[in-house]
Structure 1
């Protein structure tokens, strides 16, 4: 994947695409001050460099029947490479886990899990998370209200 140094136009393209992934090349080119062909070329280069990883629709989780966001802090018995790999592989296959981070500090992982209700979270916990070898402890907190959520990075 080629390395790419971002200039002012590239950054503007990224900001505009983060705000509206469905914007047409024509609209995008107008807003950044390029003709459509060079603008499309820049977008393609941003994609090839891995800066633009893909395009997705942002879904309201409550409106699709998944109003519960649980944040689980996980401590492993040992941070061995085997335990880390096993945990990462398992979590990657669980659709309820929408975010997962290897952390510094007291806990090893922080995950955001979405479910339809508390019973569904309990099933996830009992059927998946607690059965995973190497997990020493789990602490869960539930979100009451989402104040802010953004996929847009603060590109200056």
Structure 2
């Protein structure tokens, strides 16, 4: 990984629609060199994929919710069951295991308060692995990015 690779990655994470010729011009490489580097970065897993960024509000997901979860028991099977639940839920955009008081924190999108209530009361709380849930509604997003500081 050198400076050219980092420049390519930086440009692609800002806009994955860059053509190979555009990337080559911006990083001062020939198109063939740039193409080989990009392919290598993909093959080695530095580039995991390409995706479109969608407008959450325009698509009807007006609420962003932060939900903390405490498991009923702390054993590998219970953690696995919770992980399987979370992986099946399209509303869950992020899920992180934590140290400290709470076991997991989830970033969940819903259309409205009713949908949030349904998600918490009908999906999370009844699940056998879950003991306790706390939810908070995001009032304002100050920063949201998936970009790495290259």
TM-score norm. by structure 1 comes to: 0.94
CA distance in 2, matches of 1:130, 1:104: 21
Q: SS of the residue aligned with 1:141?
A: strand
**2:50 corresponds to which of 55, 77, 85:** 55
Instruction: Identify the residue that residue 68 of structure 1 maps to in structure 2.
Output: 63
**1:134 corresponds to which of 129, 134, 140:** 129
Alignment RMSD (CA, Å):
0.8
CA distance in 1, matches of 2:97, 2:45: 22
Instruction: Identify the residue that residue 3 of structure 2 maps to in structure 1.
Output: 8
CA distance in 2, matches of 1:72, 1:59: 22
The Cα of 1:72 is off from its aligned counterpart by 0.3
Q: Structure 1: which 4+ aligned runs deviate by more than 3 Å?
A: none
TM-score norm. by structure 2 comes to: 0.97
Matched, 1:102 2:97: yes
Partners of 2:93 and 2:108 within 8 A in 1 = yes
CA distance in 1, matches of 2:17, 2:112: 32
Instruction: Identify the residue that residue 72 of structure 2 maps to in structure 1.
Output: 77
Stretches of structure 2 that go unaligned for 5 or more consecutive residues are none
Stretches of structure 1 that go unaligned for 5 or more consecutive residues are 1-5
